[in-house]
Amino acid sequence: MKKKLHLLMRDRFVSRLLIFGIDLILVLLSFLFVHFLLVWRMKTNMPISSLLVLISVVMAAYGGMFYLLKPYRGVVRQSTFRDITMVFISTICACLFLGVVNFISKGAMSHYMWTNTHLFMHATLTFLVLFMWRLAIKLFFFYALDMRPKKNVSNVVIYGAGKFGQTTLEVLKRSYKPHYRIIGFLDDNLTLKNKSVQNVPVLGGIEQAERLNKLGVTEVVLAINSKNLSREMKQQISSAMMHYNLQVKIAPETETWIDGTFKPNQIKNIEIKDLLSRNSIKMDMDQIGEGISGKTVMVTGAAGSIGSEIVRQLTRFDVKRLVLIDQAESALYDVQQELKQLKSDLDLVCIVADVSNAFRMKAIFVENKPQVLFNAAAYKHVPLMEENPYEAIRVNIGGCRVLSELAVTHKVEKFVMVSTDKAVNPTNVMGASKRICEMYVQALAKRGDHQTSFITTRFGNVLGSNGSVVPLFKKQIAAGGPVTVTHKDITRYFMTIPEACQLVLEAGFMGKGGEIFLFDMGKPVKIYSMARKMIRLSGFEPDVDIQIKVTGLRDGEKLYEELLANEENTTPTYHDKIMIADVREVSYDYVSHEVKEMISQLELESNMALVARMKLLVPEFKSNHSQYCALDSNPIVTATQKVNDSESVIEA
């Protein structure tokens, strides 16, 4: 019986029209009750015709006010104080309206024995009846839900007893799958300890983590507004709860709520990105909009993690046309379909092309005439580029050279290049290739015979990007382990993809030309600690359920990434998360000649000779855990050696 009632009631809502009708019926019943009470007390009768006229006037007044103020549009079983307030206001307004009508008609309603006093009596009874029927329905559904099967019961505490926490309490009470039993609130406000909020006890603050196990708690839901919940606080709470094997979940941000609330399925397990991401970034929308509005914007590497997010951010502005370029056909198609759904009226051009192909890129520039260009096209995987320096030079350096020269020729207004912290004191081919790109773009910016503004942005790893440790760890955990870490002490800087791309846009239109912008990456994160947290966040115990295996540093990998080289300093900007690096500058003639020579020798020289050329151009490039360490003592000799046999040509 209980199960049938539960199945009958759940997720079924009556229409607003029906609630409107029920409200009017209750208004009518209240009227009849007051009327017959009046007739009984006065011991007199009223003609049926007069009674019908009076009923019509009263019902029209209440029906009109209900239609205007809509107290019926809320879900009755979920009625809130706001809903009851609207019922009260509607009733008072209808009563006042009838009083005004009675006054204007010089007491015409008194002809039917109804005075303003009787109108007020009717309004009072109407409000009480409308309130009581809503309360009755709410109590009935609370009883019905409480009778549901208790097979999947989760004992939960809510971290945060404020308005957000109280809303979360209401949401969890209405949850069907799973069923939540609210044990209490946690809140660091000591004045609330041992008190109750909505009849739910406040147990204390974070120090109560150990006690929760004894209370049978299995889940903790963070319900604190993001403005009041810093990353450090989020990490502290999560670490304390996970230490006692409690699953940590997080309620959705308020901007994702609909009609002032949210659904239970929006409460998600807290992820590593929630612990590493920072407060939202304030962008200068006017400055960015001024730089982009009404212009043709080209994004290379548009199907990648960074490129695709830059494109998503750009759709917020009134661009004339978006030209997306990538050589990954399937990934570019996915981005294309996503953007068509996101903004159907967007003038979108998607082109499958290789940025290092000068002939192809020239044709694209001639046809589309870009005014702003974001260059996010690059090979980024350190171990692969260590084995394939040919591709790192051809695509990263060669592609950047082709695009930047075409930007000057075709008078592109703004050229924004996406770089990496691995370009600082590089220990691998990938990082060195990006440093050479920085040098080339900066030198070209200083040349002074063109109008293109060249901007470089430099930042660290982004969470969830293709090839980053987060998706790798997720796959390894899903497979039952082991989770592989190259070194226990290895650290990296991290940002979320949207955060990084927002800063790229901000810096791109902040710079005047020739700057290398650094982003505030926060504190470096130990990858080993991240792996342990991700295992715990997945509901497992590190080294018990999921093993962590240390594999050793890979070719070209270093323990600590840097945002500045030893001789570099920074200059602050108006944005607290963006700085300008004061870097070593080189002449355009020198870097252009060296890059041209390097690319021309791609088909002729071995990997060793090509990397030697990179070391000559970037003296701070010192290989780490790599075959190219042998070049660090004297790269000049190796750089001049040509390969004469066909095997070496193929190897190159």
Q: Minimum mean pLDDT among 164-178, 289-303, 575-589: which range?
A: 164-178
What values do phi and psi take at 572, rounded to 5?
A: -70, 160
Residue 349 pLDDT greater than 90, yes or no: yes
Tell me the pLDDT band of 176, cut-offs 50, 70 and 90.
low
Which pLDDT value is given to residue 647?
38
Output the DSSP codes for 525-555. EEHHHHHHHHHHHTT--BTTTB-EEE--PPT
At residue 390, does pLDDT exceed 70?
Answer: yes
DSSP secondary structure letters along 376-390? ------HHHHHH-HH
pLDDT, residue 467, reads 63
Q: Give yes or no for residue 301 having a pLDDT over 50.
A: yes
Predicted confidence (pLDDT) per residue in 392-450, tens digit = 999 999 999 999 999 999 999 999 999 988 898 899 999 999 999 999 999 999 888 89
Three-point CA angle 254, 256, 259, nearest 5°: 80
Q: What is the pLDDT of residue 642?
A: 46
CA distance linking residue 245 with residue 541, whole number of Å: 8
Q: Residue 651's pLDDT is what?
A: 41
Cα Rg of the chain, angstroms: 34
Residue with structure tokens 């060195």? 432
- Given a cut of 90, is residue 57 above it in pLDDT? no
Burial of 520 from C-beta contacts in 10 A (0-12 / 13-18 / 19+): middle
Percent of the chain whose pLDDT exceeds 70: 84
Q: Is the pLDDT at 561 greater than 80, yes or no?
A: no
Kindly report, residue by residue over 600-610, the tens digit of the pLDDT. Answer: 999 989 999 99
Phi and psi, residue 473, nearest 5°: -60, -40
Q: What would the mean pLDDT of 312-338 be, rounded to a whole number?
A: 93
One DSSP character per residue, 45-109 reads: ---HHHHHHHHHHHHHHHHHHHHHH-TTSS-GGG--HHHHHHHHHHHHHHHHHHHHHHHHTTSGG
pLDDT tens digits, 180-208:
788 889 888 888 888 888 888 888 888 88
Nearest C-alpha neighbor of 494 from the set 516, 464, 472: 464
Query: What is the sign of the dihedral through the CA atoms of 504, 509, 511 and 515?
Result: positive
Q: What pLDDT, on a 0 to 100 scale, did the predictor assign at position 200?
A: 86
**What tokens appear for 508 in the block?**
């791109």
**Chain position carrying tokens 């304390």:** 240
> How long a stretch of residues is the chain?
652
Q: What is the pLDDT of residue 177?
A: 57
Residue with the larger pLDDT of the pair 266 and 418? 418
In the prediction, which pLDDT does 371 show? 96
> What region, left, alpha or beta, does residue 373 occupy, with left being phi > 0 and alpha being psi -120 to 50 degrees?
beta
- Would you say residue 540 has pLDDT above 90? no
pLDDT band at 355 (very low <50, low <70, confident <90, very high): very high
pLDDT of residue 506: 85
| List of domains in the chain | 2-146 (no CATH), 153-270 (3.40.50.720), 285-631 (3.40.50.720)
